[in-house]
Amino acid sequence: MKRDLSEIEIDRIIEMAWEDRTTFDAIQMQFGLKEQEVIDLMRQEMKPSSFRMWRERVQGRKTKHEKLRVFDKGRFKCSRQRQINNNKISKR
């Protein structure tokens, strides 16, 4: 790793790595860890069975790799998410 990470940072990286919509690029931008470094951190911090489950889940997943995403390159937004206007949620 490039630097020592606090327990809070490690917990946040693990949380972000488990999230489907958080890309490895976002983790690198926020914490400076490349994809392989995140994988190494996950291997080090998790039980072997949990790590294998995570790797199977993430392997080749388009949502974890910014370059593989086919939808909008910006923030993911569900088509069912409502717009907020004037501090009120607009109705459909």
pLDDT digits (tens, 9 = 90+) for 66-76: 655 555 555 55
Candidates 79, 65, 13, 15; CA nearest to 41 is: 13
82 occurs within a structural domain: no
46 belongs to a structural domain: yes
Residue 76 lies in a domain: no
Domain that holds residue 59: 7-69
- Rounded to two decimals, the pTM is 0.66
In a domain, 2, yes or no: no
Mean pLDDT of the chain: 78
Query: Is 86 part of a structural domain of the chain?
Result: no
55 located within any domain: yes
Report, as an integer, the average pLDDT of 50-72.
Answer: 74
Domain membership flag for residue 52: yes
Residue 1 has pLDDT above 50, yes or no: no
Q: Which of 18, 9, 30 is nearest to 61 (CA)?
A: 18
* Number of domains, the chain: 1
**Structural domain contains residue 80:** no
CA distance 40 to 44: 6
